[in-house]
Structure 1
């Protein structure tokens, strides 16, 4: 650490003297003054004329700020209300007689430009100082009680500092000075650190640091009027840059700016006596643009050196917008194919990139293996987006991939999935004559014709045999079930008539399509589900499952009224629920239910699951808990539907099915690993995802979010709990949120979505925890509990 010379320290003590001295030179702005883009006066100048405060052009309108005047293009150093849209040329800035700076827009709205403590009394005058500081005075005593130096945007000027807890936020671009993508934070520990905006402000997100720790000394970054940028500390300090300029002919002004590209730089502006000016870059925190985290968007990586950086998609990804590569990339194939496949490794192959660094992503699995096996390690896992091989270990990463860049000094090899192109290769036929070719074609066509004839004959006899068996089974079922069940036995024609030929579709799920109907006797509205994926050779199994469903009655389960089995036609008749699904209520409604109603709905679902798991005659594992399968009755009570069907699907289909409503987001990890491990804890995982969706009123996977940390709901909720930021989880419109109950609810959800089924609570304990009857320990991260070997 460099020691601090005496001169810069002395200058620090002289800064207040210099600032106070300027007030005698400044042109006072009196009460009642005003500015407007259309008026003769658009700004207030400092005494030297080098700085101005007022309206400057931005986009198609005007913004209010401070800038350097004698420049070919304005250099903006401060902006008021920087995230507000530009105003029209008819706007007016008034320094009112009651001491307020108010912006009046063309629409007549009045907005305060400066937020001051009214207890200090009104301002009596204002001034634009030669230091670049805009100040308000009170009580006609030239006592400053507000100044722009205390509220920097992306820039500090010589004589200005930023203290612990404050930060600089970059602008979007040179022409747009609203908040951009990067933040420079002066931390309490004395370390000056740069992060992407909306990141977790964790060490993994930081891309530049001053590496200064002051041992409890109050942190502060100072830029002197002589161009020394340094951090004072208890044991000296550290000079970051010394921009001293030897040419004394004219005026020099220094500014340090966190530029739109995320790099912190020190500039010198030299104003000569002949009114010419120049600008020099005296220091830059980073020399390589690719070192800035977030310079390239999700699923892309940065390449190049210095300022010549470019963004590239990883193999298997395409740009979201080819005209703006900084927005990132997306997968150019669907992951649903992977989850539906019995052998996912057959769908893809891998390609590798060398020297790729994934700076932010943490691997969710690490195993020692050879480099040749590392790519295959990812092919067999549908959750895997990429694998990196370093130090004889293979590391798996989920999507999206963040902060990727090329580093020639990094020896890692990173593997990415590519969609396999299936092609039938026809071997070359080396034919000596046309006669040989005709002979080969004749034999081939004859063989194919014989095979087709054999298949057609065998299919005819098999069909006749099955038709006879179906008729016998249907007769037995119709007789047996009618005596045993309390359900009504419908004929297919009766249900076809009730639904007007299956005309009005009201739902579609993993097991079939649901239609609205009206019974001919009594005119009762019903819902008819026509099963499309039932096993053709499992009529007795189907009868057994219908027996179980018929005996299952609970207020939080959709009631089954009847059924139809005629050969291969299998239909179920339900009570009609006319208030739609939970998905409609929390994802699509203009105003979702309030906090208390959402907690009540969550308990309704939990009590329905408790009956299925523990209170019925037999234990029923639902295997498809999601908001689309939770219906709301006339009293807005939640009722679970589609229970008891898991055993009716074609073998292995239940594991591979991912319907249009996104069932895969609710599947427990063990579902894809081994169907023999399916248990009630599989439903607990799905319930945990639904519970967190009910709390946050958003889907478990949401791409339209402000930061990558929020895409996966379970990860975002855990990070908010760990950071003590529960208020981010509930919508602003929520009133009377009990934050103790909110914390308890999200902890229950996080326990439910643990990777290890043994860590998930039973549904009975879930209800007791939600009701506050038993204590809830702090849950571990759902990702961290994956075994790393």
Structure 2
């Protein structure tokens, strides 16, 4: 497969090749859902696989899509497939797995247009082209044409002082344009790297590597842009400090060049004075309004006045009692309380899940609003969203978005095993959600009770973590035993049993167990199995990995067997997460990098030597 220079038809270097040209090969799309080349010598080159249990339950198609990715799709055609599949074409396999990484050309724009960058949504198997801040698409309908600055280009006649006043260097997270360098400095610090790009009218992006004290300057057009969680350098893009008139940049008048500093100073003072006066007036008005509202809320809800940062909707108990029909339909029960299904009396009839928090420890009563504020400010695709709460009298209730496909526990351990690509999608979603809780939200949140029951699935089977942020509100013995342990048997990290501090690595351990369960479609502890060595999944997986028999873990799962390299990678990552010593486990950032982009991942015995003293249990 080749990138094509439109409209000339010139082909750049291939980003994927089967190496089957002129050897009598034939492309086959067979009745099992596999697509492969057969070669004249009898061997086969695998392309993609549907990996569904019954071919007769699905329509199939495979297309080379407009983003350059070859995708295989299925569509359920009878009721037997529909309970687990949405009624739409679903991509079940792709080639290449990450086109953003696969295409890098010395000539041409890369997977997306010039001055844009490529990103992958692993949960939907889709590719998107995005513009950096202060840039916009040249053509919104043909995004492959790239992006252009949404501000006046820097005039090369500007002196250093004016350039510094007009432009700044903004960091852009996890995005890189690996080519387009035209200047390099070493040794240098980041402040000087920023300055040298700002005063250079040709410079669009500066890249600073702290480890080597090196700075690179890049000019337009920027090519091969991509989002990558493993960008080790600081990428800075030039943006305007404010929306100035184009005449400020383009005027060539010698009078203006001579007096511009004084004009800028005078204008700034005048504008600043006006803003200050307006700000003071608005502040007085807002403060009066705030005091009035706060006073009313104290009387009505008996809640403290500093609740401006809480979720937007504060429910009364009677509202939630009516929405749930008197708390009739139970969705589930857990350590923190019972969850009921409800429906709001709004214009959309929004379905909700209402959790009644029970046995709230006395010292946590004051912390409730603080913790709810933290949860309410936590937004991520892979976290269940908090819609509101009730803090009325002794009642403490949380209102969440409703997840139509229930919990991972029900989805994974039912009679019908979900197919491999859906399990991979769930694993990636859980990994991203934990990464956000540990490293990307404003305040680090350690879940402390990661398990399949606390992973919910929406209409499109996107995994969303629930019950995060509640650990501080529960009595230490409520979630499992009377030993001060939080968590659930089979998912609890060893350090809970030791007199050492608890860190985010307890969630990493639990993720390792869940990842093995997703790979094998079975619970970690199964006492009914015929082979005693398979009773505890973590031990059995470790034995299979050491013996080189990963295939035993997915026996009978044709799709997983077809993707045995990915199975092996997931098992290796899971075993790494299960290290007894917390410091030996990876962070969720490293875990995400490996499961999504395994190119630079090397497995060694130290990482997977998990149970050296317990193999003969």
Q: TM-score, normalised by structure 1?
A: 0.38
**Greater helix share, 1 or 2?**
2
Larger RCO (alpha carbons 8 Å, 6+ apart): 2
Could you say which structure has the larger radius of gyration? 1
